[in-house]
């Protein structure tokens, strides 16, 4: 006779290796989220550079050209930079680093992006006990 716990385990994988929960590397050591982040910042920089150059050159084709060129360079340069920064760090390091940076510089914006939960205090921490605490392990009073 099959017990209820055996019936629940039937067909389920109870052990999953840790690496299955990670995002796969897509390009130059970047995951998909990091690639979108690099491409988005690079596209914004290309648009910001292309707009004044399009006015000077009197050609609107300069804007998309500079956007494409800046995305390619941003992924190449930014991917190498982020890969060196991420080496040996946990998977969530980049997201937490950005939240910490926002929490220090823009606390109002950080409240909306989850950075207000981070500890931003700098200084010495001490794990000392209050002086009135009695040590119960030794039996002293």
**What residues does each domain of the chain span?**
23-88, 90-119
User: Tokens 């290309």 map to which residue?
Assistant: 46
* Residue (of 34, 39, 35) closest to 93 by Cα position: 34
Distance CA 36, CA 28 (A): 13
Give the C-alpha distances (Å, rounded to integers) separating 127 from 14, 124, 134.
Answer: 39, 10, 16
Q: How far apart are CA 9 and CA 86, in angstroms?
A: 38
pTM of the predicted model over 0.75: no
- What are the tens digits of pLDDT across the range 74-115? 999 988 888 888 888 877 787 788 888 888 887 777 777 776
pLDDT in tens, 105-120: 877 777 777 766 776 6
User: What are the start-end ranges of the E strands in 6-141?
Assistant: 25-27, 30-31
The partner residues of 30 in beta bridges, in order of sequence, read 27
């Amino acid at each position: 006779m099959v017990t209820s716990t055996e019936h629940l385990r039937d067909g389920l994988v109870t052990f999953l290796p840790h690496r299955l929960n990670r995002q796969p590397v897509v390009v130059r050591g970047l995951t998909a989220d990091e690639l979108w982040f690099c491409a988005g910042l690079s596209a914004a920089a290309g648009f910001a550079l292309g707009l004044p150059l399009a006015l000077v050159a009197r050609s609107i084709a300069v804007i998309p050209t500079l956007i494409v060129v800046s995305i390619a360079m941003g992924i190449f340069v930014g991917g190498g930079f982020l890969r060196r920064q991420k080496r040996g760090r946990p998977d969530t390091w980049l997201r937490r680093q950005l939240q910490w940076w926002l929490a220090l510089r823009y606390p109002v914006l950080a409240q909306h992006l989850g950075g207000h939960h981070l500890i931003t205090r700098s200084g010495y921490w001490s794990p000392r006990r209050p002086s009135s605490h009695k040590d119960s392990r030794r039996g002293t009073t």
